[in-house]
């Protein structure tokens, strides 16, 4: 009989991920505040629970995935009055908890510590022979790849937590994504994701400025991109996701900055990086400048515009497409 | 009999380039304010001229290369009282002028216009049959690759000027470098170089912030670099010139930030990009933040520190090498 | 018989404010999570309530003041399970609610809207004759002046809400502070406070940079301050709260940056300004740069350092006191 | 017989200053590249010299003032082939040289050193009895007050150089301006001016952001300005030169940002501050952000727009005047 997996948070990303689990033969039980989202998943074969606590006490439940939009929502889902950790001792069922939300690393560490203080139902205690753990393992496993990667099952998971639990999670993660990178202890997945997106946000903004200045000085964006790609300015933002309309096909810049990674989400991630830095000494002046740029972009052009639209923002008005 | 080529400006970069010309069989005549630099090249077989004007009127001179440290020095060499363009009409000899200095694109355009107003000695008029040009062609051809590339003859030339002249220059450029990229009309080589270095300066600073934050949050710099390189944070600054000591061998970060591209030069190039933007509408907030960072680095750690030393600057104090 | 006033949140600021109410003859009933803070106020003559809801239903209560550290704490106090607005209809006693916390303006507007949906106990319905309001009035009334101003009763209140309620609050506000500025409708007090602190944070950082550069160039900080104060660089940060040790007496800079407005609080306020801007089009690049500066300062020198310590941060190392 | 004074550089500012000298009874001899500017001053009674050197060797010349647009122009005027210091030994006439241009402090120091190496005509050697100096004294004396202050004779001079020479210059400076501030040795006047304008540029940009955010949040700009002026956000940019149209009369904001201090000049001064910082350790992140803002403003709205137009730039589009 196929494994039973819980899934809390079935928005754009989560619904795709849960469907991939169903398609691979898992039985899935979902919980979400949106009746519409729940109904759609039920049509696809999912079961439903009323609250996170109810879901987490379902007999037979092996693992539980959460995919939520904010640190506050994650805290509520795990620590709130009807949250997963509100269950009485020895009633929690899943021995593996996977949070795929992008949140701040400190909250992830707090949750891992809270998980360690809970106790599993006696039927499901698992782990190393001789010394089985009576608490569930908790992983932070934020993703990169966007809605497209979630639908295609090609996400990359950046995972923090014990190696033993990462190994146990591999079946589930491998169903929803293509790559799993173990980054370290609890919180390390979040930390790696934030650092990655920090570099991405800064380098995209730099590429945008370089291409905008070049065009203002009379250079052709396609030629200039070739020069970048063959030298020290080479980067993913120039060679894979070029922000100038017409330079590459199949990227948001060539479909009016739709269908990619929203500027508002980039702005949120850079804000999380700044928050994470609030307790440590790293100076982040480039991050601060980039966060403000994406915030300006999102308020001017709407929060859904792709983050590579920062090219049009720095170009200043009538953006010019590269000659085809 | 081998071609005679002039070379003005034989500092660290220029001396290497002139030596490569000598090694390839060119006869070279040099001019420099430093008697010591001139003496060294004379020992290697070069001839000497007292002034740019004298050099530029040498019978038999086919081409002339300049490699100077600033826009002011370039202006003096071409437009000053004893400069190349101070010669009387019909006495200038080289039909090809190549300026490999990194300067602002407007000065390059001014020089190209000034070159077009000069007249060559009747003996050397060259060009398309039937309509030979009576003025020399002028190219702006700044380089990337640093002193190492100059010594090894592996520079990349970014060239602005007429295609016909780029073709004529190919023998010389191919002797001093590995790649020639024709970027457009006069000034386009400078513009491309500035845009390239702008992107490089911003992305290196972003990589530095991402790796510094990651380490402060407890991640290992080697692991985090692998994550970057496999995802959207991939860039030359992370995968080829990593700024954290111990992550890669053979880069300045692993030899105490020596022997690379000086922070003071990056700061200068970003300043040139800002100047070039003074007449056009591109917004450059990331460039402004990066220029200030490299300026701070150069004043704190000395102007010769490699620009990847910005990692130590944002890390804030006791920089930690990655575990080997 | 003197009026009975509730006070929730008796930390550094709140305790001083409550004591001034007691000293002026008000009867005060307090509520706080810290038993120690409560005990201290009880010794001074205050009564105690267990929860915000219990406090808010105390017969005879005329008004209620809250002074809390974050938007989350304010939400919990008003909207949480035992919060002020959790009372059943027609049981709420105070006809005037004053929130003096510094939070985001949107939360203040939400609270004012929630207050309008509650109903007062029939005994206390008040307001314009003929059309008495059955709901309490809610004011956002953040303060400037710090702990010193709270103790001395010289705070300035920036108030948002209906003019009628501001008039009713004047007795209380005038007891705790020196000035009351009516800024507009609900949320306007918070908005004004954030804008004020944004300008303060930016101008202090600018003064710090100007004085640091001047000293590095050999100027005397006292002389330079005089020049600023007599010309277009004149501002409160230079003439009243000068950041260079030794230029003025009685300011944090002259007592090792203690006892003023903490860098961590300035950083928090600038973050609130950035959040408030997330839904509107104003570009805030200077605010972003300043927020990062104060964050760096707080992580380097500790969160309690006065925000004028940014002078030492930009000076870079061995800060030099002005000659006395 | 009235004193003879030289004046080189009679543009917008210089012409007003020279006219005030003529009006006060000085005889004035001018030199400028613009025949039109020279003709206008001749009509007002001035004499003319062909070159700086010729002017500086005029018998009877007591002092010489220069008012030029750039460091390069100042260098040319003093150190060029026909410059003031190109005169043979013992032929220079003015014992007092005053440079009122705004340039970088290092150039001012260089000029003072060069002046000390020249020798005056034996007839004009002056100074302390018993030990007369044989070289002229050189002052850097940049001004604040703009064209309006130059015309009205109400400029402020920030002066660097020996106190004895400042005393000798007081008659001239007091004729052209209202205040003279002795800032220190050679270069100190320039340094003070740059630091002052740095603070001004940063605080104006901060005031602009604060007022723009406030208006976006629904506050009235006049009310918010009053709050600033009564608290810690008080500064010249808010209380004397408010950037929102309609808040104050008689300021550039209320005449479409004309007739004040041009954004392009502010951008130039901030660039000079950054250059001056290139050799010293002060960190200037706020200055860098402000310099970029004014550069963007000047390229978008034209270089002549008043620097307080930065309000419209950060407001983002349809700027709203305050209600009258």
Residue B240 confidence (pLDDT) above 70: yes
Q: What pLDDT is recorded for position B132?
A: 59
D122 touches A: beta carbon within 8 Å:
no
Highest mean pLDDT among A146-155, B145-154, B158-167, D130-139: B158-167
With CB atoms and an 8 Å threshold, state whether D300 touches A316: yes
* The pair of three-digit structure tokens given for residue D123, joined into one six-digit string: 């007839």
- How many helices (H) and strands (E) chain B has is answered by 13, 9
- Which residue in this structure is represented by tokens 């190696």? A163
Q: Which residue of A has its CA nearest to D317?
A: A300
B44 touches D: beta carbon within 8 Å:
no
CB burial class (10 A; 0-12, 13-18, 19+) of residue C35?
A: exposed
Q: What pLDDT is recorded for position D146?
A: 83
Q: What pLDDT is recorded for position B260?
A: 85
At C181-237, the pLDDT tens digits run 999 999 999 999 999 999 999 999 999 999 999 999 999 999 999 999 988 999 999
Q: Measure CA D120 to chain center.
A: 27
* The pair of three-digit structure tokens given for residue C265, joined into one six-digit string: 């609080």
Q: Which residue of C has its CA nearest to B286?
A: C285
With CB atoms and an 8 Å threshold, state whether C233 touches D184: no
- The pLDDT-based confidence of B323 (bands split at 50, 70, 90) is very low
With CB atoms and an 8 Å threshold, state whether A300 touches D285: no
With a CB cutoff of 8 Å and minimum separation 6, the contacts of A35 are none
Q: What pLDDT is recorded for position C148?
A: 84
CATH numbers and ranges of domains, chain C? 4-184 (3.40.50.720), 192-315 (1.10.1040.10)
* The pair of three-digit structure tokens given for residue C197, joined into one six-digit string: 């602190």
CB burial class (10 A; 0-12, 13-18, 19+) of residue A82?
A: middle
pLDDT mean over C287-298:
96
DSSP-assigned beta bridge partners for residue C156:
C144, C179
State what percent of residues in chain C have pLDDT above 70: 95
* The pair of three-digit structure tokens given for residue B50, joined into one six-digit string: 């007292």
Q: Classify residue C88 by its DSSP letter.
A: P
Residue B18 confidence (pLDDT) above 60: yes
A113 touches D: beta carbon within 8 Å:
no
- Mutation choice for A interface testing from D209, D289, D295, D317 by most A CBs within 10 A: D289
| Distance, CA of A113 to CA of A258 (rounded, Å) | 40
Q: What pLDDT is recorded for position C130?
A: 54
DSSP string spanning B147-183? HHHHHHT-EEEEEES-HHHHHHHHHHHHHHEEEEEEE
Residue D91: in which H helix or E strand, if any?
none
Q: What pLDDT is recorded for position D131?
A: 54
| Distance, CA of A114 to CA of A88 (rounded, Å) | 14
With CB atoms and an 8 Å threshold, state whether B295 touches D281: no
With CB atoms and an 8 Å threshold, state whether D236 touches C241: no
* The pair of three-digit structure tokens given for residue D301, joined into one six-digit string: 């709205």
| Distance, CA of C125 to CA of D217 (rounded, Å) | 32
Single out the residue of B37, D42, C299, B150 nearest to residue A282, CA to CA: C299
Single out the residue of A59, A118, A109, A133 nearest to residue A83, CA to CA: A118
Single out the residue of C235, C143, C133 nearest to residue C183, CA to CA: C143
With CB atoms and an 8 Å threshold, state whether D273 touches C213: yes
C-alpha to C-alpha distances, A28 to A25, A49, A165, B192, D158, nearest whole angstrom? 9, 11, 20, 54, 77
Residue B289 confidence (pLDDT) above 90: yes
> What SS3 class is residue B276?
helix
- SS3 sequence of A59-86: CCEEEEEECCCCHHHHHHHHHCCCCHHH
- Which residue in this structure is represented by tokens 């002259």? C254
- Mutation choice for C interface testing from A79, A292, A314 by most C CBs within 10 A: A292
At C153-174, the pLDDT tens digits run 999 999 999 999 999 999 999 9
Contact by Cβ (8 Å): D13, D143:
yes
Q: What are φ and ψ of residue B216, in 5° steps?
A: -65, -30
Contact by Cβ (8 Å): D286, C202:
yes
Strands (E) located in chain D: 4-8, 27-31, 47-48, 61-66, 96-99, 137-140, 143-144, 155-160, 177-184
With CB atoms and an 8 Å threshold, state whether B217 touches A276: yes
DSSP string spanning C263-308? HHHHHHHHHHHHHHGGGS----HHHHHHHHHHHHHHHHH-TTSBGG
Active site residues of C: 193
Q: What pLDDT is recorded for position C280?
A: 84
- Which residue in this structure is represented by tokens 């804030």? B316
* The pair of three-digit structure tokens given for residue A152, joined into one six-digit string: 């295609």
> What SS3 class is residue D58?
coil
D316 touches A: beta carbon within 8 Å:
yes
Q: Please give, rounded to a whole number of angstroms, the shortest distance from the CA of D301 to a CA of chain C.
A: 17
Residue B318 confidence (pLDDT) above 70: no
> What SS3 class is residue D315?
helix
- The pLDDT-based confidence of D256 (bands split at 50, 70, 90) is very high
Q: Which of B296, B300, B316 lies closest to C300 in CB terms?
A: B316
* Half-sphere exposure in the Cβ direction for A257 (13 Å, CA): 21
At D23-68, the pLDDT tens digits run 999 999 999 999 999 999 999 999 999 999 999 999 999 999 999 9
Residue D307 confidence (pLDDT) above 70: yes
* The pair of three-digit structure tokens given for residue C154, joined into one six-digit string: 């010289």
A280 touches B: beta carbon within 8 Å:
yes
> What SS3 class is residue B61?
strand
Q: Please give, rounded to a whole number of angstroms, the shortest distance from the CA of B101 to a CA of chain D.
A: 21
pLDDT mean over B171-179:
95
DSSP string spanning B83-144? SGGGSPTT-B--SEEEE-S---HHHHHHHHHHHHTS-B-GGG-BSSTTS-BSS-EEEE--EE
Q: What pLDDT is recorded for position D323?
A: 46
pLDDT mean over B195-212:
98
- The pLDDT-based confidence of D218 (bands split at 50, 70, 90) is very high
| Distance, CA of C10 to CA of B204 (rounded, Å) | 48
Q: Please give, rounded to a whole number of angstroms, the shortest distance from the CA of B15 to a CA of chain A.
A: 24
pLDDT mean over C282-292:
96
| Distance, CA of B78 to CA of B138 (rounded, Å) | 11
pLDDT mean over B227-244:
94
- Mutation choice for C interface testing from A295, A310, A313 by most C CBs within 10 A: A295
With CB atoms and an 8 Å threshold, state whether D235 touches C203: yes
Q: Which residue of B has its CA nearest to C284?
A: B285
CA distance between the termini of chain B: 55
ipTM of this predicted structure: 0.90
At D265-278, the pLDDT tens digits run 999 999 999 999 98
| Distance, CA of B55 to CA of B65 (rounded, Å) | 11
B125 touches D: beta carbon within 8 Å:
no
C-alpha to C-alpha distances, D49 to A306, B91, D94, D118, nearest whole angstrom? 63, 36, 14, 21
Residue ranges in chain C assigned as alpha helix (H): 12-23, 35-43, 52-56, 71-79, 105-116, 146-152, 163-176, 188-216, 221-229, 236-239, 263-276, 285-301, 310-315
| Distance, CA of A55 to CA of D158 (rounded, Å) | 75
CB burial class (10 A; 0-12, 13-18, 19+) of residue B167?
A: exposed
Q: Which residue of A has its CA nearest to D283?
A: A285
| Distance, CA of B289 to CA of A205 (rounded, Å) | 12
- Mutation choice for B interface testing from D276, D288, D298 by most B CBs within 10 A: D288
State what percent of residues in chain D have pLDDT above 70: 95
Q: Show pLDDT as tens, one digit a residue, over chain A (324 residues).
A: 679 999 999 999 999 999 999 999 999 999 999 999 999 999 999 999 999 999 999 999 999 999 999 898 999 999 999 999 999 999 999 999 999 999 999 999 999 999 999 999 988 865 545 555 789 999 999 998 888 889 999 999 999 999 999 999 999 999 999 999 999 999 999 999 999 999 999 999 999 999 999 999 999 999 999 999 988 999 999 999 999 999 999 999 999 999 889 999 999 999 999 999 987 889 999 999 999 999 999 999 998 999 999 999 999 864 455 543
Q: Which of B81, B285, B295 lies closest to D278 in CB terms?
A: B295
D191 touches C: beta carbon within 8 Å:
yes
Q: Please give, rounded to a whole number of angstroms, the shortest distance from the CA of A269 to a CA of chain D.
A: 22
| Distance, CA of C25 to CA of D242 (rounded, Å) | 43
B163 touches C: beta carbon within 8 Å:
no
Is residue D193 part of the annotated active site? The answer reads yes
Helix A188-216 crosses helix A105-116 at what angle (to 10 degrees)?
Answer: 170
Q: Which of B81, B287, B292 lies closest to D285 in CB terms?
A: B292
At C109-149, the pLDDT tens digits run 999 999 999 999 988 865 545 555 789 999 999 998 888 88
Average predicted confidence (pLDDT) for chain D: 92
| Distance, CA of C176 to CA of D39 (rounded, Å) | 69
With CB atoms and an 8 Å threshold, state whether D292 touches B283: yes
Q: What pLDDT is recorded for position D322?
A: 52
- The pLDDT-based confidence of D130 (bands split at 50, 70, 90) is low
Rg (CA), chain D: 21
Q: Which chains touch C (3 or more CB pairs under 8 A)?
A: A, B, D
Contact by Cβ (8 Å): A68, A9:
yes
Chain D neighbors of C220, CB-CB under 8 A: 184
With CB atoms and an 8 Å threshold, state whether D274 touches B292: yes
- Which residue in this structure is represented by tokens 């543009």? D11
Q: What pLDDT is recorded for position C128?
A: 47
D320 touches C: beta carbon within 8 Å:
no
Q: What pLDDT is recorded for position C324?
A: 39
Q: Measure CA B307 to chain center.
A: 16
A292 touches D: beta carbon within 8 Å:
no
* The pair of three-digit structure tokens given for residue C8, joined into one six-digit string: 């929730």
Single out the residue of C195, C277, C180, C67 nearest to residue D232, CA to CA: C195
Least confident of A306-320, C64-78, C304-318, D251-265: A306-320
D285 touches A: beta carbon within 8 Å:
yes
pLDDT mean over D203-217:
97
Give the CA angle between residues B145, B146, B151 to the nearest 5°: 95
Q: What pLDDT is recorded for position B317?
A: 65
Q: Which residue of A has its CA nearest to C72?
A: A72
Q: What pLDDT is recorded for position C117?
A: 94
Q: Which residue of D has its CA nearest to C283?
A: D314
């Amino acid at each position: 009989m196929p494994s039973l997996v819980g899934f809390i948070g079935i928005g754009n990303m989560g619904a795709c991920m849960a469907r991939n689990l169903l398609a691979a033969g898992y039985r899935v039980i979902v919980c979400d505040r949106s009746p519409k989202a729940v109904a759609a998943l039920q049509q696809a074969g999912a079961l439903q629970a009323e609250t996170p606590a109810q879901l987490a006490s379902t007999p037979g439940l092996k693992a539980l995935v959460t995919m939520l939009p904010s640190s506050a929502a994650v805290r509520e889902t795990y620590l709130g009055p009807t949250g997963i950790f509100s269950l009485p001792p020895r009633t929690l069922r899943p021995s593996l908890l996977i949070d795929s939300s992008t949140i701040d690393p400190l909250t992830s560490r707090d949750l891992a510590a809270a998980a360690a203080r809970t106790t599993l139902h006696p039927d499901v205690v698992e782990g190393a022979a001789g010394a089985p753990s009576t608490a569930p393992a908790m992983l932070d496993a934020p993703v990169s790849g966007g809605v497209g990667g979630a639908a295609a099952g090609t996400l990359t998971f950046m995972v923090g937590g014990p190696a033993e639990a990462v190994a146990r999670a591999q079946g589930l993660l491998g169903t929803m994504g293509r790559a799993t990178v173990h980054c370290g202890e609890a919180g390390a997945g979040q930390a790696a994701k934030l650092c990655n997106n920090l570099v991405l946000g800064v380098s995209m903004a730099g590429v945008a400025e370089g291409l905008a200045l070049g065009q203002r000085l009379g250079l052709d964006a396609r030629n200039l991109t070739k020069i970048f790609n063959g030298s020290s300015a080479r980067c993913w933002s120039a060679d894979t996701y070029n922000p100038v309309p017409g330079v590459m096909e199949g990227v948001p810049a060539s479909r009016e900055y739709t269908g990619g990674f929203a500027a508002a989400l980039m702005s949120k991630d850079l804000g999380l990086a700044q928050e994470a830095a609030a307790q440590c000494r790293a100076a982040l002046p480039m991050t601060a400048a980039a966060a403000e740029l994406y915030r300006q972009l999102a308020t001017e052009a709407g929060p859904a515009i792709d983050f590579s639209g920062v090219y049009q923002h720095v170009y200043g008005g009538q953006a010019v497409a590269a000659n085809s």
